[in-house]
Every structure is written in C-alpha cells, then in structure tokens.
Amino acid sequence: MEPKKLFQVGRDSIIYSKKYWKQNKNGILNLSNKTPYIEFPTLQQIPFIKHGFSTRLGGVSKEHLASLNLSFIRNDEPEHVYMNYQRICDAIGIKIESLVFSDQVHDTKIHRVTKKNLTGKPFEKQGLKGIDGLVTDEPGVTLVTSYADCVPLFFVDTKERAIGLSHSGWRGTVGRIGAKTVQTMKNEFGTNPENLIAVIGPSICQECYEVSKDVALQFESEFLPEQIDSVLIKKENGKYQLDLWRANQIILAEAGIPQENISVAGICTCCNNGLLFSHRASQGMRGNLNGFLQIVE
C-alpha cells in the first residue's frame, strides 16, 4: 500500500485547508499565527479553558518529520522538538512549563494531575507511567496527549470546572477509556456527565482504517449487535473497516454524556496527511501531533 499523498506539506496545505475548514463545522483551523492549530467550536465557547490540536505545519523539523513534530522519540533533533513545542505553546497561549505528559501505552488508566506534577523545567520526567488519560481541576496545568491516527478525547465539566484528555486507539476504545475518563472525573471532582462537553478529535476515519478479524472480534464482543453495524463494515477480503469515531460516540453516550454535548471533529489524519501526521498513511515515517487542554489561571 502506497502512502497517501493528497497535497504537499507547507503552503499548499494551508491553501487547501482554508477551503476545507469552511465546510467543517466541528473544527476550525486557526491561522492567526505562523504555527496553525485546530480548535473546536464547542470548546471555544467555554471561557475558562484553552485548548488546541497541533498540525504538522509551522515547525522546524525536517523531511518526514516536517515540520511540527512533537515527539522526542522519533529520531528528531531534540532542539527542533523543543522549538516546535515553544511555537505551538505560543500559538495557543500556554506556558511550556505548564505541560504535563504521560507515556501512553494503549491502555485505559487515567491519572489526576496537579501542579505538583510540574517540575518547573520543560520536559523533565514527571513519573507518569502506563497512563493514557489525564484529568485535572487545577488552573494553569496543561494536559498533553500525543497522536498520529488514534483518537483524542477532550472533556470539559462546565459546572465543576474540571477537564480531561484521553488517548483512545483501538485498544483504548475496546477498553472504553472514554467511559473510564468520565468515571474518574465523577470520582475525583463530583462530575455529573450531563454537564460534560466532549470532543472526539482528529484521527483516522473508517474509510482509511482497515483492521484484521481478531480486532473486529473484540469490538463485536464489546458492542451490542444493533450497535456494531455502525462501527464495523466487513470487506470481501476478510478484513473490516473500523469506525473509531462512532464507537467512541456510543461509549460516551452510554457513560451519560448527552448526545448534543458530544462533538465529532470529523477530521481524518490519514486523508489529510499533508496537514496532519498519520502513522498509516506514512507507513510509520511520521512525527507526532498533540492535543492540549488547560484551565486558565
């Protein structure tokens, strides 16, 4: 399978994106800065948060990492990655010292973070291991999770002023990390799911996401028969097309979030690989995208 190439990285991507984003009501490409990033209208309306989802544009990394790679473990120059972080933080309006990361292992563990997790030095090890979801109710703490096709799940409790950000690949989706994030917010902050605003962020679409039978079987065992038809499409070659967006919609609704409070960005990383990094489209030759979510101080 040849890597997808819809348009070149750089100026062509921005020109294409201006047209594309006019048609997309659930995602907005912020081009007010030299480092573009994606915002979500339902989160823009919440005055006490800052949020964003990075693109691959506006950074300094080279070749297949061009240009806003946000991973230190993809053989990039460390100083390039640091500069990329500074640029995206400046664009969103957050301090680089406020970022809290986990290692993300495609599991379903959620961790509450506080200012105690901030070391005062960017990227100094914070000791969060085996964690794929972060929650907090402390202003000035920026939750950060990384992607290149997996699903970012953004959560904002508008009453208790708490937030969550989780990484949901197919394993995390089968494990219902979205529901576990909601439960953690209920336990930690007294969140009522009816007060949550949730966004299913940029990630691989069903048309681009072919999976094997063993993966499909795990979804079939997790979802009801009347649900699975909207999540899986069986192909003649014995493979399946998996809809992670729909699967996470179902999970979040079953966790108690009202349907009208769940927004699907509808932005495919694989289809838009000139704008976003995609592991599948690039056959693994890619950088990382990040989601950012903060309660403002």
- Does residue 10 surpass a pLDDT of 50? no
In the prediction, which pLDDT does 15 show? 47
Position 5 confidence tier, pLDDT thresholds 50, 70, 90: very low
The one-letter amino acid code at 184 reads: T
- Distance from C-alpha of 52 to C-alpha of 71, rounded to nearest angstrom: 17
Give me the pLDDT at residue 122, please.
Answer: 82
**Band of pLDDT at residue 121, cut at 50, 70 and 90:** confident
Q: What confidence tens digit (pLDDT) does each residue in 249-297 have?
A: 999 999 999 999 999 999 999 999 989 999 999 999 999 999 999 999 9
What domains are defined for the chain? 11-205+244-295 (3.60.140.10), 206-242 (no CATH)
The predicted pLDDT at position 1 comes to 34
Determine the pLDDT at residue 21. Answer: 55
Of 28-37, 92-101, 116-125, 178-187, the one with minimum mean pLDDT is 116-125
Share of the chain above pLDDT 90, in %: 85
- In tens, the pLDDT along 172-207 reads 999 999 999 999 999 999 999 999 999 999 999 999
d(CA 203, CA 232): 16
Give the Cβ contact number of residue 115 at 10 Å: 12
Q: What is the mean pLDDT of residues 205-225?
A: 97
pLDDT at residue 131, as a whole number:
97
DSSP string, 75-130: S--HHHHHHHHHHHHHHHT--GGGEE-----SS--EEE--GGG--SSTT------S
Instruction: Give pairs for 283-286: CB < 8 Å, separation 24+.
Output: 283/1, 283/3, 285/3, 285/64, 286/64, 286/65, 286/74, 286/148
Where does the pLDDT of residue 123 fall: very low under 50, low under 70, confident under 90, or very high at 90 and above? Answer: confident
Residue pair 59/69 in contact by the 8 Å Cβ criterion: yes
- pLDDT of amino acid 48: 99
- Percentage of the chain surpassing pLDDT 70? 92
Q: Are strands 142-147 and 133-136 parallel, antiparallel or unpaired?
A: unpaired
Opening angle at CA 12, ends 151 and 53, nearest 5: 25
> Quick check: 150 pLDDT over 80?
yes
